[in-house]
Amino acid sequence: MRQICTLLLAFVLMQVYGQDRVLYIPMDNRSDIEMNPRIDTLDNKEPYEFKVRLSPGYKVSQFLFEKGLATQNDSVLVICANSPKTGEVDTAVLRVIVTSIGGSRIWPFQKTFIVRTNEKMFPILKGPKTNLIMVNDKVTLERNNAYAKELLVDHPFVTMYDNATNMKKYDVKQVTISLMEKEGKQYVSKGDTLSNEAIHELRKIKKPTPVYIRVEGKNGKSTKTVWNRIVVYNE
């Protein structure tokens, strides 16, 4: 009987990985499988250690990490992302095959991580950063970087500077938020804070979502408009 179950598992795994026909179950907010700590963002090429807990009567048959390495030692899993990208946000999916102790049931799970990659190194010096957009005058929103939604939903204010050298400040007159998932829908605020409608939509984010931010500022007679794109995730 055990040999039959083993052959069945091998056949199913061949279908999963060879032809990609199996629908994977998201691991988030499930009681039958848990990974701690509960983080969704990884730094590229940095190892992270997780403790994996399963419901009684089940075991992990295999881990697969599509952009990196996954190693298991008893209930401890270590993953290390290895994204080929530089200077932008990537994603990597961890797939977990769980079987019952007797081998009669098979559960395919998956979890998507955000991967922060390092800037590409060039032999020349970069010029100062320009058109800086900051939240609460503390956190700079870097283009294509990922930020937890908590940064944006507690009624923050937005500041804008000409560049990182002279830090010439612009008086923010308007902030517009646009979610990629709601194409054509813009949430405009007349001032340096986000509109209540924008905050309401940002609070609903459950998975990593591209968000566009448009900031219009004025310094004397000079008016400047800057667009920025970030990824917002639920921490």
Q: Note down the domain range covering 40.
A: 2-116
Tokens of 146: 């990922």
Average pLDDT, the chain: 83
Inter-residue contact 142 to 59 (CB < 8 Å): no
Residue 122 lies in a domain: no
pLDDT given for residue 194 in this prediction:
94
Residue 178 lies in a domain: yes
Residue 125 lies in a domain: no
Please give the Cα distance from 40 to 91 (Å, whole number).
Answer: 10
- Give how many domains the chain has, as a whole number: 2
- Cα 111 to Cα 2, 64, 91, 121, 211: the distances in Å are 30, 11, 10, 30, 22
Residue 69 lies in a domain: yes
Give residue 159's pLDDT band: very low, low, confident or very high (50, 70, 90).
Answer: very high
| In a shared domain, residues 163 and 102 | no
Residue 17 has pLDDT above 70, yes or no: no
Inter-residue contact 118 to 165 (CB < 8 Å): no
Residue 123 lies in a domain: no
Q: Which residues of 198-234 are buried (b: 16+ CB within 10 A; e: fewer)?
A: bbebbeebeebbebebbbbbeeeeeeeeeebebbbbe
| In a shared domain, residues 104 and 154 | no
| In a shared domain, residues 58 and 96 | yes
User: What is the CATH classification number for the domain harbouring 169?
Assistant: 2.60.40
The stretch 40-56 carries a mean pLDDT of 89
Tokens of 140: 């700079």
| Neighbour count for residue 36 (Cβ, 10 Å) | 10
| In a shared domain, residues 104 and 8 | yes
pTM (two decimals): 0.48
Inter-residue contact 87 to 118 (CB < 8 Å): yes
